[in-house]
Structure formats: structure tokens, C-alpha cells
Amino acid sequence: MIEVFGQKYPNINFINAAVAGGAGTNARAVLATRLQAGDAPDSWQGHAGQELIGTYVAAGQLEPLNFLYEANGWLDVMPETLIPLISQDGNIYSVPVNIHRANVLWYNPTVLKDAGVAVPTSLDEFFTAMDTLKAAGMDAPLAMGEQWTVMHLMETILLASLGSDAYNGLWDGSKSWGDADVADALADFVKVLSYTNSDSASLSWQDASQLVVDGDAAFNIMGDWAEGFFKELGKEPMTEFGWAPVPGTDGTFQFLSDSFVLPTGAPHRDAAIAWLTVAGSKEGQDAFNPVKGSIPARSDGDKALYDVYLQSAMDDWAKDVVVGSLTHGVVANDSWKSEIDTALGLFLLDLDVENFQTSLVAACVASGPCK
């Protein structure tokens, strides 16, 4: 994407101040220091949604970008249900350059075939499939890793159990975390956990994915970066690994995204706008995403540039209802997410749904939109 920018704007010197370190933790620390010192970069990348809005918009540190969306026709090529998730009070605050999907069920086709199990499409079918696999001698049909992957699993089960409207309501304050159907969804989550491996806390997401392709587990629920991991292992799609929406979530795309912003008082504002224009363009996104292993936020990407999984994800992105990920920064600000994570850690010690639900209600009151 930087190469595309250089071709379009050869007179602008692009300085890539990327900070090494996974998940952006180090980069956010450096950014905080620069912002505090009044040394804002011209743009920076963060997770789309409340991770950006709840931190930087709340502090008055980002400019709205509605003018760019209108000038470039982006509202016509990005899903209508995406825009509210990157907006506040009618203002759009970031340019998503890519999309990853959270609600993906990865499976081992051979394991399912040998057990006579079809790919499940509902939670009830999912439970039946895992009961069948356990009866056939597979102790833990669903592979799981460390705690952030458990939160990832939880958000997908909440979506599957509640549906997209109620799921969205949890994050915008229109639905109570204390409702009976939320308790039912958490009970579904407990049931799902009963099919997972006991050593999950010591495993990375890659370790959990490895269990699936090795045939030691049948399923794993993980974002679609897992496909890149399977490709690195040399595994063949739909032969050695397969994918489907998490059971109960077909027609809904639970997303996360890397996004760029325009800081208030950017020292080279015009150059930053030029960068954002490339970041939101078809050419820029099609240059970046096939290499990253993600899909463009735009719905008009050139499918010929993408592999078979990513093509299927592009099809779903263009037609599905879009909802945001908790684990990956879209629907909850950092404080709220941290409180949920703390409550989840305690819940995993005793699996007490009533206490967990009480803690989730309190977290929403303390740091979310619940009053």
C-alpha cells in the first residue's frame, strides 16, 4: 500500500514509523507518549471501533472523516452495517483497510467424515456433533487456547445464541446484560466449554489450531488468520482443513479491522488525507490484503487476487449483516473489555453463570453504556 501511495504521490515523503510487537501493545504505548508530548503522527493504525473511539475520540484527538467518505464514494462500497460501528454521533472516525472475520468454525474434514458427522449449522447440531465425537473416543472435540481465545469463543457463542440484533444491543445499551436470554446464552457457553481441552490455558491459538489439523480435535473457533497458519503448514483447503460460520451465526459477519485515522492537529494534514485516500481506495486495499491474508473493507475488491477462503469471506462480507468483535476492539472500549476479561477469568474457575452475569452487568454500568 505504501508503494501505491508513492506512485500516486511521488512528492510526499512517507515515513513509516511502525513499532515492533504483536497486537499493537508497544505501538499504543509509543503513541500515548507522543500524543502527551504534542507530537502526534500524521496518521496511525488501530483497531476499528471502540478501541479507537472510546480512547481517542473521547479525548478529542481525532477528526471526523465524513468528508472523505462522501468525496470518494466509500459509503457506496462499504457495508451499510459497518458504518455505525466505526462512528460516533454521526461522525465516522477511521478508514478500515482490511477485514478479518471472528466467527469462523475451523474443522478437520477427515475427522468429521470418519465419525459420520456433518458440519453443524446450529448450536444444537454443534452439541450433537461433539457428543458423537466424544462417544467415538475424542475427549476434547473443540480445541481452545489461552484466555483471550476463550473470550473470542464467548463472543461468538453470544452471537449464535442471541442473534445479531440482541448481540448489538449488549454493546449499545439497548439490551440488558441481566436478561434471561443472556443467561441462556452464557449457559450455552458453559456447555461449549465442556467439550474443550483441559490444558487450554497453556496453549496459544496456533497450538489449538494445530490440534485440529493433526486430528486430535475436530473443531476450533478462531479468527480467519488461522487460515494463514494452515497455509504455512502446507495444508490443503477443504481437504485437510475446512471452514464454516460458527454454528448459529450464518448470515452474520463478526468483524475486526485495522484502520487509519486523522489526528486533530496533524502536522501534515494534507499529506495525511492523501494517505487515507489511498488506504480507502480499491487499488490500495487490493495491494495490501492478499499479502496480509485479509479481505478489503470495500465490497468491490478484485476476487482474482485472493485465495479460495478469502474469496468466500469476500462474498459473505458483501451480503451478511455486520457485527463487531469484543476481543478485537470493535464493540467495547479498553476499560470495559478489561473488566469483562477479569470477570471471565474468575468465571473460568467455577463456571457460575449467575455470578458471571452479575459481573457483566456491573462492567457495563461501570465502563459501558448501561446506566
Provide the residue count of the chain: 371
- Predicted local confidence at residue 25, as pLDDT: 62
- Predicted local confidence at residue 141, as pLDDT: 99
- Predicted local confidence at residue 38, as pLDDT: 83
Predicted confidence (pLDDT) per residue in 44-99, tens digit: 998 999 999 998 998 899 999 999 999 999 999 998 888 998 999 999 999 999 99
The alpha carbons of the chain give a radius of gyration, in whole angstroms, of: 21
15 or 186: whose pLDDT is higher? 186
Q: Could you tell me the residue ranges of all domains in the chain?
A: 2-99+256-324, 101-253+330-367
Bridge partners of 99?
295
Predicted confidence (pLDDT) per residue in 101-125, tens digit: 999 999 999 999 999 999 999 999 9
Helix segments in the chain, DSSP class H: 2-8, 25-36, 50-52, 66-72, 109-115, 123-135, 147-162, 164-172, 180-193, 205-213, 225-232, 269-279, 282-292, 308-319, 334-350, 353-367
Nearest C-alpha neighbor of 152 from the set 370, 327, 343: 327
Same fold flag, 2-99+256-324 and 101-253+330-367: yes
Query: Are the beta carbons of 52 and 261 closer than 8 angstroms?
Result: yes
Just give the CATH number of 101-253+330-367. 3.40.190.10
Average pLDDT, the chain: 94
Predicted confidence (pLDDT) per residue in 180-227, tens digit: 999 999 999 999 999 999 999 999 999 999 999 999 999 999 999 999
Looking at residue 233, the DSSP 8-state letter turns out to be T
2-99+256-324: in CATH 3.40.50.11930: no
Q: Which three cell numbers stand for residue 2?
A: 505504501
